[in-house]
Structure formats: structure tokens, C-alpha cells
Structure 1
Amino acid sequence: VCETSLEQIFVHIKNTRPELVIIDSIQTISTESIESSPGSIAQVRECSASILRFAKETHTPVLLIGHINKEGSIAGPKVLEHIVDTVLQFEGDQHYMYRILRSIKNRFGSTAELGIYEMRQDGLRQVSNPSELLLSQDHEGMSGIAIASAIEGIRPFLIETQALVSSAVYGNPQRSATGFDLRRMNMLLAVLEKRVGFKLAQKDVFLNIAGGLKVNDPAIDLAVISAILSSNMDTAIEQEICMAGEIGLSGEIRPVNRIEQRIGEAEKLGFKRFVLPKYNLQGIDTKKIKIELIPVRKVEEAFRTLFG
């Protein structure tokens, strides 16, 4: 129904008694009880509150579609987030074919869930194994690439961390990270410099999480510094090695959560060796695991394993 008046929408709902109501978009709806224009804070708040009341009284699920601005937050009134039960954000990058559905707020479940979909000519297709999307098929002999086992929500997947280290041409070395927190990268570079003795102060460092993903999981720290070091020494990391581990300021490799799921995902995709924090070995039933586990306690040990 092409209708922007809230009162008329309720008349249509009363006549048809739908099982589901979708409103696209809430910023275009207005009620006669308020004089301001559609999309204003007063209109959006009043219309959303009326729709909420209707949904709770009639037990009808309602999906409100709202616009977001370039930064990705809800355009205009933030009050909309407080009224609704669940906020789902459908985000994508114009350069990639897949879209990510994130839960920003959820009164009925976890906000750590993530859905990945691929945009095709005939519509959206669910990506049941995102790891295959995020790994380039062949990086044999290429330096600066390390495979990390990350977890978004309850979902483990393997991602490719790519790094490029080169001598700074213009006085001040550049630091750039795509899909990873730049401040965290700077911290990891400081650990490499202070604890392991690699001089990177006069070098440009570029980091990229392949596939356009943004990753907040601290367990990819080990892959990040391994990729940086691999590029710095121009030595490739073996294709069959996967890793997970958080790096502490003293250069120790700290344990990460849900390690068995991470190992299982690496095993499923055919990796032969898995570098993990030594402390994580406790409580793992190694008999079930076919992949070779390499426990490490400090950054130096991990580098000896990777680069000999």
C-alpha cells in the first residue's frame, strides 16, 4: 500500500489483519496529531510509539525500515533505537558482492550474531561458509599474508590478514589499517620493536583484512604481527598454517576464547598446523583433533615456528 498517513495505515491493517507488517520507511510516515513534517524527531517518535503499542496489543510483528547516514548510524532520531526491541543493520560495501546483517540491539537474543549474504543477479543468497569467501585461493610463496581464525558472534571463520612493510619515502612513516583498529596495530608494532627487537620505526606499515570485513576479535593479533614480520623479512608463511592468539604488552601470547571451534574451522578447511596460546591447550581433547597443534607462550616462539 502506498500510504504515508499513520491513521490510514491503521485502517488498512484493521481491514486486512496481516500476520506481518513492514513499514518502509519510518521517516516518511506522519500522524495528524502532530503538526511537524515527516522525518522530524516528534513525528518519528510518536509514529513509532503508536506502532509499538499496536504490535504489543495485537501480537503482530512489525518491521520498521529506517534510513542510515554515511557513518552507519540511524539518520535523525536515535530515539528509534530505544523504542524498538531489535535493531538489525544491513551493511555492505559497494566494491564487494556480499552483505552483512548485524544485530546492534536485541532484547530476545545475542547481539554478537552475524549473517553473511552474497548479492547475486537473482537476489540474495546466504553464505553458509564465509571462510571460503575470505581466503584467496592461492598465496603460495607470497610474503605478508597470515591466516587467522576469528570469531564474530558465535561463528568461527578464517580470514586473511595482509601486511605490507616498506621503507618510508617521505620523512614520517605512514601507518594505515583497513578493517582493523589502527591504535591496536600501533600497539602491536611497539611490542615488535621493544620485545622482539625488530626496527620498524622508519618503515611504512599497511594492514588489510581481506574481503572488506571489520574484525574486533583480539585473537587475530598473532596473525597481524606475523603478517607484518613476514612482509618485513620478505619471507612467506607456509600455506597450511593457521593461527589464533592475543598479544600482551610484554610479548606474551594470551589465551583466547572458544579455541576448539576455531581449530575445528581450520581443520574443516584443510589446514595442517594450528599455532595457539600454550594456556589454551588445557582442557582440549587432543585425541579428537587431526590437525597438528603448536602451543606457543611468547611471540619469539611463534616466530621461530613460522620462520625457523
Structure 2
Amino acid sequence: MSIQILNLNPCYDHWVIISKPPKTPNVLRGDYVVKLVDGKGLNIARVFNTLGFKDYICINILGGDVGKIIHAKCKEDGINTLEFWIEDESRINTAVVYEYEKRMLMVNEPGPVMQRKEVENFLEFFSSVLKENGTLVVSGSAPRGFGIKDMARIARFAKEKSCRLMIDISGEWLKELLNFEPEMVKVNADELRIALDLQQMNLGELLHIKDSYNIKVLCVTYGKDGSVTLLDNRAIRVKPRVIQSDYSVGSGDSFFAGYLYYEALNKSIQERLIFATACGTANTLKYGAAIFDLQDLESQLSNVDIMEEEL
């Protein structure tokens, strides 16, 4: 099964780790730095690499000198990519980790602006590289200038080529893509509530969403409280027993990647969700988004509770 990941708004991340309180007020001096390519799609790709899965391609929109850095880093890390280049500069995000206080501050740049001609050229490019009968994963936001109707065209291309559409996205993008009956929606609970103006977020309301949009698998994640996944006749709740760290940036992407990987291996839905949860929890054990090793993952596989109920 070939997986194509659409990563419309990549970035280059700097995590600056500060181990001790600063000696000089208002001056922070990092003890060490973690540098990595980011964006939800690239995070999924990085987890795939960690798991030894290579049957994927990550499609990135890149621009400027930062785009060149992202391209070079992807090549260095062995991440399978296709690039579409624009004029404006790709973004840099900075995380300041106050290790001595066990907290962090994430600063995200707004990212590039795509000109209308660039959007049209990208859509033509994307249509030409999208494989028939494959899996399209749409994950993360888009650059400014890339509109809701443009996202709808992405979904139409997927339908025209009989691709399975799997999404992890928020806001107006989520509202639009739901209209195209995605096979799977993996979404943070707060993002779903805000996008659809939900009130209760109980199983009845979630089931109504699933049925209204003809979603085969609706997976709603709740951070430390795990996830609930709705299928045709049951709900599966999965939760880590113990969370050892609060550094959760990239855990949702790690979860999604773990799910997709185990689906590609034809594992049962229960196995997919346990493995996905372990990936998300393993991500919290190291600084940086979607960074863990197989030993971290192995340690978390037994740290998962699962419960099913009929709908």
C-alpha cells in the first residue's frame, strides 16, 4: 500500500533546551539545541522511518533559503519527499524548553504566502503525482493564499483517483474535507469541538458526526486522556496508564503514524490503536516532535489500557 502524505506547510524547528535558571535577567542561553524538519506530514514520515516503513512519499511546499534547509535535512534523514517550490520563505519555529521548570514555550512563525499562480501550479502538479487507488493523508495547515476551495480540489483529486482519504486537520480545513467522506478522521477533541461548534462531545454527538459525513473511522484524541475511536457498531477507548513527560509536541502525529503503519501491516483495529498510543507516548520521552527510538516504543506497548463498548 503506497501512502502519499500532503504536507502543505513544512517548517524547520529549533528546540533550545535550558537546563538551569538564567544568571542574567531576560537573557536565555541554551545548553543544547535539537534541530529537525517539522510540519505534521513530515512528523508522520519521520515516525515511518523510525519504524522501518518506506512505502510512502511526503509532498512538501517549500520556499526560500529555509526551504533549502528543509530539503537538505530531509535528504540527510532519509525522508522520502517530493517538493513544489514557491517564492516566499518557508517558516522556522522555535521551542524554548525550560527544563528546570518542566515547561516549554513554542513560537510558530506564520509561514509563507502563496501567490494565486503558485496555488494553481501546485494543484496541477499535485494532480499529476497523485497515485490512483492509493492512500492520501492530509495533515496540518496550508500556507496563506491556499484557500478552502483549493483544499476541496485536493479532495476531489483523491476521489477521482479512487484514493482513500485520511485526514488530521483543524478549523475550516476540517469542515471542508468532511464533505468528501474521508475514510478516517483523526482529530484532537478541542479542534473538532471548535471546528463544528459542538457542545457535549459525548458518544452520541460523535456518532452523529461519523454517520452524517459517512466516516468509516473517527478517532478523537484527548492528550493524556487517550483517545476514543468510533467504528460502525462500537467505540474503542485507549489510554496510556502512565505519562512520564509533559513534552507532547508531535504526539498526535506519532499516534497517527503508528496507526497508519499498523493498518499497512493489516493489523486489527485494537492492535492499531494500542500501537498508535504507544507511539504517541514514546514521543514524550525525547525532545523534538515525532522523535523516539524503538526501545522507547517497546517500553510503552504494555503501558496501554483498551476498552470497547457497543454503540
Structures share fold, TM-score greater than 0.5: no
TM-score (norm 2): 0.24
TM-score (norm 1): 0.24
